[in-house]
């Protein structure tokens, strides 16, 4: 009986490579690899919104340790959470650009929201910088009054309001304040609040308005909400759900991208390393999620998650790019290079927008009061 020769007629075993596939097959595989790459990029964006601290593009070391191990500020470098402030302080010290009619700010009452302020500037425009500095001094004085201790039996804040005499804080000793509100080293805080705030709050029947006459009227807006502590550690049910989703869905994707790369024409040792590495790193990554919950050594496994995740991302990038370039000859490679260059240029063009968004996120957490406990 004759034997079937599966070689190429020269005794060399036949091996199918990506470049020898029909063009329609290569196009489908190319689109699949690009779609996987875009999907992974969108996962990084989702990772930012879900787990990264405000102002950070991706989760930091502290974020990862806290989410998977439950240990807060593991490195000791994380800034403290924003101070919880009263509603009145938040309104008074808000940005001048915030609209007053939406109840988000009372800052304009000290500046352009005050008719007297505008009239003085219209009459004498060069006075605006000096006038603005004095009005800012008024705001700082009101803030100092808000933060004055009001514990019994002294009731310093209440007495300062009722006596219309707040001792000038040392921090404002060299800061200009409108002369009419200063008297022998004391700030006429009640007069100041009545002129800047109470006038607009006289009609308490209007939406969003509250009567601000007696000290008792300030009770709820001077109260500082208690800050509730919420653990960021991933719950067991969420961890279980995320584990099976990652192992079932990503294992299929990484198997396909690995198989595609395995049919490339690169040296065997390169394919043996790079083809399975993404899938292997994904399994190690998920394993570290669970090991990170161990007492004592958990944070170190949480740090390993950053390493395994980086291997997944970098390995996937190499699989996609090297496989795509291996499928085509020079005309196709030039087209791929143009597409890749366009993607890089797009990322560079978006960098100012991304940096601005991150800066706004960080600013919102440093200026906004902490959330009250639920």
Closest CA to 268 of 77, 56, 15, 95: 15
pLDDT tens, 129-152?
888 888 888 888 888 888 888 777
End-to-end CA distance of the chain: 83
Query: Rg of the chain's alpha carbons, rounded to an integer?
Result: 32
Distance CA 271, CA 262 (A): 6
Which pLDDT belongs to residue 102?
A: 56
Which pLDDT belongs to residue 252?
A: 92
Percent share of the chain, pLDDT over 90: 19
φ, ψ dihedrals at 174, nearest 5°: -110, 10
Which pLDDT belongs to residue 287?
A: 94
- Token output for 274: 């790079």
| Residue whose entry in the numeric block shows the structure tokens 């170190």 | 300
Flag whether the pTM goes above 0.95. Answer: no
Distance CA 370, CA 212 (A): 25
Q: Which three-class secondary structure state does DSSP give residue 54? A: coil
Stretch 143-162: mean pLDDT: 82
Task: Give the least confident one: 146-150, 193-197, 360-364.
Answer: 360-364
Distance CA 129, CA 344 (A): 46
Residue pair 115/123 in contact (Cβ under 8 Å)? The answer is: no
Distance CA 250, CA 230 (A): 30
Distance CA 78, CA 61 (A): 10
Which pLDDT belongs to residue 81?
A: 62
- Token output for 260: 């595609």
Which pLDDT belongs to residue 200?
A: 63
- Token output for 367: 């200026």
pLDDT tens, 25-51?
988 999 899 999 989 988 888 887 777
Stretch 354-367: mean pLDDT: 63
Task: Give the least confident one: 117-131, 161-175, 261-275, 349-363.
Answer: 349-363
Which pLDDT belongs to residue 371?
A: 43
Question: Nearest-5° angle of CA 55, CA 56, CA 59?
Answer: 140
Which pLDDT belongs to residue 312?
A: 94
Say yes or no to pLDDT of 370 above 60: no
Say yes or no to pLDDT of 286 above 90: yes
* Choice between 198 and 197, residue whose per-residue pLDDT is larger: 197
Q: Write down the mean pLDDT value for the chain.
A: 79
φ, ψ dihedrals at 187, nearest 5°: -95, 130
Q: Which residues contact 150 (CB under 8 A, 6 or more apart)?
A: 156, 157, 158, 222
pLDDT tens, 106-125?
777 777 766 777 788 888 88
Residue pair 71/299 in contact (Cβ under 8 Å)? The answer is: yes
Say yes or no to pLDDT of 56 above 50: yes
Most confident of 51-65, 116-130, 205-219, 274-288: 274-288
φ, ψ dihedrals at 70, nearest 5°: 80, 10
Say yes or no to pLDDT of 4 above 70: no
Per-residue confidence at 85, pLDDT binned at 50, 70, 90? confident
Say yes or no to pLDDT of 275 above 70: yes
Which pLDDT belongs to residue 1?
A: 41
């Amino acid at each position: 009986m004759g034997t079937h020769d599966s070689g190429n007629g020269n005794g060399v075993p036949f091996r199918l490579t990506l470049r020898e596939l029909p063009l329609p097959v290569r196009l489908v595989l190319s689109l699949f690899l690009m779609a996987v790459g875009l999907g992974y990029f969108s996962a990084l964006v989702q990772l930012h919104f879900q787990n990264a601290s405000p102002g950070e593009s991706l989760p930091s070391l502290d974020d990862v340790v806290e989410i998977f191990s439950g240990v807060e500020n593991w490195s000791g470098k994380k800034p403290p959470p924003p101070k919880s402030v009263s509603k009145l302080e938040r309104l008074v010290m808000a940005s001048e650009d915030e609209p007053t009619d939406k109840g988000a700010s009372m800052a304009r009452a000290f500046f352009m929201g005050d008719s007297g302020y505008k009239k003085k500037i219209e009459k004498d425009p060069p006075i605006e910088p000096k006038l603005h500095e004095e009005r800012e001094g008024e705001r700082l004085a009101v803030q100092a009054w808000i933060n004055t201790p009001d514990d019994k039996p002294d009731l310093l804040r209440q007495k300062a309001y009722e006596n219309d005499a707040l001792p000038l804080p040392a921090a404002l000793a060299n800061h200009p304040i409108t002369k009419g509100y200063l008297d022998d080293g004391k700030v006429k805080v009640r007069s100041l609040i009545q002129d800047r705030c109470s006038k607009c709050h006289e009609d308490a029947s209007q939406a969003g308005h509250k009567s601000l006459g007696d000290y008792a009227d300030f009770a709820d807006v001077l109260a500082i909400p208690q800050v509730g502590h919420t653990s960021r550690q991933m719950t067991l049910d969420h961890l279980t759900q995320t584990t099976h989703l990652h192992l079932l869905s990503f294992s299929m994707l990484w198997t396909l991208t690995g198989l595609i790369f395995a049919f490339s024409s690169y040296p065997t040792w390169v394919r043996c390393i790079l083809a399975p590495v993404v899938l292997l790193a994904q399994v190690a990554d998920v394993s570290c999620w669970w090991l990170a919950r161990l007492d004592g050594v958990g944070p170190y496994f949480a740090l390993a998650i950053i390493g395994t995740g980086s291997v997944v991302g970098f390995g996937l990038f190499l699989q996609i790019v090297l496989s795509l370039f291996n499928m085509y000859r020079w005309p196709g490679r030039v087209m791929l290079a143009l597409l890749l260059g366009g993607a890089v240029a797009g990322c560079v063009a978006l960098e100012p927008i991304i940096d601005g968004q991150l800066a706004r996120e960080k600013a919102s957490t440093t200026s906004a009061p902490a959330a009250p406990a639920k």
